[in-house]
Amino acid sequence: MRFEVAYGRMDEQALLVVDSASPLTARQVIETSGILQRFPEIDLDVNKIGIFGKAAKLDAVLVEGDRVEIYRPLVADPKEVRKRRAAEGKVMRKGGGENGAPST
């Protein structure tokens, strides 16, 4: 069985492959991959994980081909950023055009 472990930070990203004869948990794949030695800032008690972008627990049993993603803590709370923008009178708009008008 083949699994992947993904982790990224601003200056470096890693996608490691783990092969196993039997199913493994997300924790086992992470520990087997060697990513904890490569990125010592990862703390599995703090960092959240996911499988293909969906939140998961460390004891989740993986299936062939699963990719375990280790997430960094958020630098800024998205809700607080939106509140701050609203307080400053800035409006978030789709399209990126001048004054919200579509670009031509």
- Compare 34 and 88 and report the one with higher pLDDT: 34
Query: According to the model, what pLDDT value does residue 87 have?
Result: 80
For residue 2, the cross-strand partners are 19
Q: What are the sequence ranges of the domains in the chain?
A: 2-70
DSSP, residue by residue, the chain: -EEEEEEEETTEEEEEEEE-SS--BHHHHHHHHTHHHH-TT--TTTS-EEETTEEE-TTPBP-TT-EEEEPPPPSS-HHHHHHHHHHHT----SS--GGGPPP-
Query: According to the model, what pLDDT value does residue 84 have?
Result: 80
42 pLDDT more than 70: yes
Query: According to the model, what pLDDT value does residue 85 have?
Result: 81
For the domain spanning 2-70, the CATH number is 3.10.20.30
Using alpha carbons, select from 8, 50, 13, 5 the residue that is nearest to residue 31. 5
Query: According to the model, what pLDDT value does residue 90 have?
Result: 60
Question: Over the stretch 64-89, which tens digit does the pLDDT of each residue have?
Answer: 999 999 998 877 677 877 888 888 87
Query: According to the model, what pLDDT value does residue 89 have?
Result: 75
